[in-house]
């Protein structure tokens, strides 16, 4: 075996056709050993004797893709000083592109003795080899000219889904690939996505994660995957190909097929913390390589970790080398794996400098100037659990945000809560109060009613309380502020009256989502009435509680068809997906304003109506000639005019059409999901309690002296 000094760049294991360069960052290590494993599991250790700028490196001739490897890192074990080195523990390369499998709890994951009364202060003298090994990978893959669909945000409809959950029970997919990347890109699923009309699939975490020890002891798993072990390797459990490097190839094949079908792929990424937990957590990679560099420690008690994430630790983005790790990972997933964007879990954590959130942080600055990362979709979950962590509306110009204010307001409005109408004016139109003053557009508001974290739409109208006992945490986990209502019975019922209003409310939610300005994100399964039986925190439920049930009831079939219709309408009409905020001013050369808010009597909303706690209804006029934008060819956009009527009260109300001469046609009525577009006669329409209607009128509106 010919060994050379190697280079400090790039980090990780890099094959060049003749051998492999290994490079590992550690400031505080005193000794680093590369561990090579043959197919029988026999270990060969080679000491890295060269270090450049805190990066240990070596080059070994003849090491090829498929080689299993890990590291043993020596140095002080002194948790009080933040040092947790233990060469008994096999450690994963943070830059490993593929892994040998999942963690083996029985083989040991701890650098300390978890059974000692001294807890993490006592070093373990036992070998711990339970961490998956890294695998050297090559660059071979034929992308066949793959190109991103690259939809602009205002033309995007995002569909959030879990790789396994969406196909685990899909009977028209071969059993051996259900729940995998291959299944997600299978012909039945691609046809489903295309027929539905969505443009973008947002996948829950696909980075390799572990099942936390406390879940493992309960016989549960970390189903969602927000417990990252490797920021480069795709999750092996979601691959039907378990051969060395197989998950990488299968993930790439999935992306290629989805792109060919005109579908984008966004991945949910968790750079705010890792799977290694707090001071009593396992040591699998970062903690044993350079604990002080990779994690934020308490300044006066370095044994303990700052925890802005609620998971036990926080990644140290203040350290330039850690920040480089994140950027290298993002760039890798764009350039090598061809993903189209990222949703950043607990993104506020990444923008914390010493303590506080900072819009000018190094994290944002580096992304803004990066020619690769800055060009893909960047979506923030704009909060964390630390002080000052709720930052909805405060992210920089390139960033879209999950708009939790939209979610909460729309849930409250349709439930019939008091005092919602004033905020409706902002949330329905793209949240200009949050995004207009910093150079962003309406589409930077990622609107959602439900997401993976919380109730499904069906459960939102079926349960007053969460039902999380299956998580074995005494029903203490999960959100309590759900703004849900069961309409007279907790859970499923045979009561026809209750079921009618529940289904209508689900249609109200979906129609509101698709016709609001901003970028809609639907939670996968809401279109087929998916239920989690009242569990609003299914992070550990890798079973039928979380998986999609594809044996659709007639009600689910109806909801699916209704959702397809809503999506098709949104995609066909640019006035429903504007790129600029409404101004409420008259359109140049016309007496019509771009948007008008009306009372049920057909007159314009006044201050008393806007401020009344009892206003639970509204008509919104959208002018098709007021889009104030051009298409891809520079031609001014024009569209039909629209009326949106919403009655969230418990009473049927007769709504009056505005006093203009227009040929209104009813397109959507949540009381009748089977409705075909119908001409309207008369000057009024009865709005049932808890209902939504959409009307359109083509051509020029005759104002007849009415100020719209």
The catalytic residues are 345, 381
Distance between CA 576 and CA 642 in Å, rounded?
9
Q: Are 228 and 267 in contact (CB under 8 A)?
A: no
589: enclosing H helix or E strand: none
Which H, E and C letters describe 151-219, residue by residue? CCHHHCCEEEECHHHHHCCCCCCCHHHCCCHHHHCCHHHHHHHHHHCCCEEEECCCECECCCHHHHHHC
Which H, E and C letters describe 376-410, residue by residue? CEEEECCCCCCCCCCCCCCCCCCCEEECHHHHHHH
Q: Are 105 and 132 in contact (CB under 8 A)?
A: no
Collapsed DSSP state (helix, strand, coil) of residue 620: strand
State how far the alpha carbon of 204 is from the alpha carbons of 101, 226, 266, 295, 454, in Å. Answer: 20, 8, 9, 24, 14
Q: Are 398 and 367 in contact (CB under 8 A)?
A: yes
Measure CA 279 to chain center: 28
Backbone angles phi, psi at 698, to 5 degrees: -85, 165
Beta strand 55-61 with 3-4 is antiparallel
353, two tokens: 């400098």
Q: Is 476 left (phi over 0), alpha (psi -120 to 50) or beta?
A: alpha
Sheet strands (E) in 398-500: 400-402, 445-447
Collapsed DSSP state (helix, strand, coil) of residue 580: coil
Backbone angles phi, psi at 180, to 5 degrees: -125, 175
Give just the sign of the alpha carbon dihedral 607, 610, 614, 615. Answer: positive
Q: Are 229 and 103 in contact (CB under 8 A)?
A: yes
Distance between CA 1 and CA 178 in Å, rounded?
42
Q: Are 237 and 195 in contact (CB under 8 A)?
A: no
563, two tokens: 């959702």
393 contacts: CB under 8 Å, gap ≥ 6: 382, 401, 405, 431, 433, 434, 435
Distance between CA 173 and CA 615 in Å, rounded?
49
Give just the sign of the alpha carbon dihedral 45, 51, 54, 60. Answer: negative
Measure CA 76 to chain center: 39
**Residue from 357, 146, 127 nearest 256 by CA:** 146
Distance between CA 428 and CA 582 in Å, rounded?
11
Distance between CA 77 and CA 297 in Å, rounded?
16
Give just the sign of the alpha carbon dihedral 592, 641, 446, 207. Answer: negative
Q: Are 442 and 513 in contact (CB under 8 A)?
A: no
140 contacts: CB under 8 Å, gap ≥ 6: none
Q: Are 460 and 412 in contact (CB under 8 A)?
A: no
């Amino acid at each position: 075996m010919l060994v050379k000094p190697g280079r400090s760049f790039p980090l990780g294991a890099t094959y060049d056709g003749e051998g492999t360069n290994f490079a590992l960052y550690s400031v505080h290590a005193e000794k680093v050993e590369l561990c090579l494993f043959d197919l029988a599991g026999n270990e060969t250790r080679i000491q890295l004797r060269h270090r450049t700028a805190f990066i240990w490196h070596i080059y070994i001739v003849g090491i090829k893709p498929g080689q299993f490897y890990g590291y043993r890192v020596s140095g002080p074990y002194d948790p009080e000083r933040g040092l947790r080195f233990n060469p008994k523990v096999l450690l994963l390369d943070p830059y490993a592109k593929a892994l040998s499998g999942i963690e083996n709890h029985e083989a040991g994951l701890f650098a300390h003795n978890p059974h000692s009364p001294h807890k993490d202060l006592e070093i373990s003298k036992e070998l711990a080899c339970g961490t998956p090994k890294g695998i050297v990978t090559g660059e071979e893959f034929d992308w066949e000219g793959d190109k991103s669909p690259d939809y602009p945000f205002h033309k995007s409809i995002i569909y959030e889904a879990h790789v396994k959950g969406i196909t685990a029970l899909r009977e028209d997919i071969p059993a051996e690939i259900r729940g995998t990347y291959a299944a997600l890109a299978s012909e039945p699923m691609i046809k489903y996505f295309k027929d539905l009309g969505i443009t973008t699939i947002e996948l829950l975490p696909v980075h390799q994660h572990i099942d936390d020890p406390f879940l493992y002891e309960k016989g549960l798993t970390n189903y969602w995957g927000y417990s990252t072990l490797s920021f480069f390797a795709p999750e092996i459990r979601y691959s039907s190909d378990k051969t060395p490097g197989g998950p990488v190839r299968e993930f790439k094949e999935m992306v290629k097929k989805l792109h060919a079908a005109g579908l984008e792929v966004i991945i949910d990424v968790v750079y705010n913390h890792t799977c290694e937990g707090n001071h009593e957590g396992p040591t699998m990679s970062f903690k044993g390589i350079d604990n002080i560099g990779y994690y934020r420690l308490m300044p006066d008690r370095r044994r303990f970790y700052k925890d802005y994430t609620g998971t036990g630790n926080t990644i140290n983005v203040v350290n330039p080398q850690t920040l480089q790790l994140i950027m290298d990972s993002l760039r890798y997933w764009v350039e090598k794996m061809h993903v189209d964007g990222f949703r950043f879990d607990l993104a506020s954590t990444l923008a914390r400098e010493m303590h506080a959130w900072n819009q000018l942080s190094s994290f944002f600055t580096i992304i803004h100037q990066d020619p690769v990362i800055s060009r893909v979709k960047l979506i923030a979950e704009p909060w964390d659990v630390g002080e000052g962590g709720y930052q909805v509306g405060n992210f920089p110009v390139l960033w879209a945000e999950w708009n939790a204010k939209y979610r909460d307001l729309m849930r409250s409005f349709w439930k019939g809560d008091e005092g919602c109408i004033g905020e409706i004016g902002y949330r329905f139109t793209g949240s200009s109060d949050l995004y207009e003053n910093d150079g962003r557009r309406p589409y930077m508001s990622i609107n959602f009613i439900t997401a993976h974290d919380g109730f499904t739409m069906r459960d939102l109208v079926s349960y007053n309380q969460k039902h999380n006992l299956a998580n074995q945490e005494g029903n203490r986990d999960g959100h309590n502020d759900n703004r849900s209502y069961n309409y007279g019975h907790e859970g499923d019922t045979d009561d026809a009256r209750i079921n009618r209003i529940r289904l209508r409310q689900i249609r109200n939610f979906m129609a509101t989502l698709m016709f609001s300005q901003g970028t809609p994100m639907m939670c996968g399964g809401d279109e087929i009435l998916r239920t989690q039986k009242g569990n609003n925190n299914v992070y550990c439920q890798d079973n039928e509680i979380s998986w999609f049930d594809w044996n659709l009831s007639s009600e689910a079939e109806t909801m699916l068809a209704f959702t397809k219709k809503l999506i098709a309408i949104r995609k066909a009409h640019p006035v429903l997906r504007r790129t600029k905020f409404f101004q409420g001013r008259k359109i140049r050369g016309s007496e019509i304003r771009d948007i008008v808010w009306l009372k049920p009597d057909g007159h314009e909303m006044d201050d008393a109506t806007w401020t009344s706690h009892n206003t639970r209804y509204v008509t919104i006029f959208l002018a098709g000639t007021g889009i104030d934008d051009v298409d891809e060819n520079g031609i001014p956009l024009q569209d039909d005019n629209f009326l949106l009527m919403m009655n969230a009260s418990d009473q049927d109300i007769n709504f009056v059409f505005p006093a203009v001469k227009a040929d209104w046609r009813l397109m959507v009525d949540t009381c009748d999901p089977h409705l075909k577009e119908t001409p309207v006669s008369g000057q009024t329409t009865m709005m049932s309690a808890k209902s939504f209607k959409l009307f359109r009128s083509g051509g020029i509106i005759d104002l007849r002296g009415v100020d719209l």
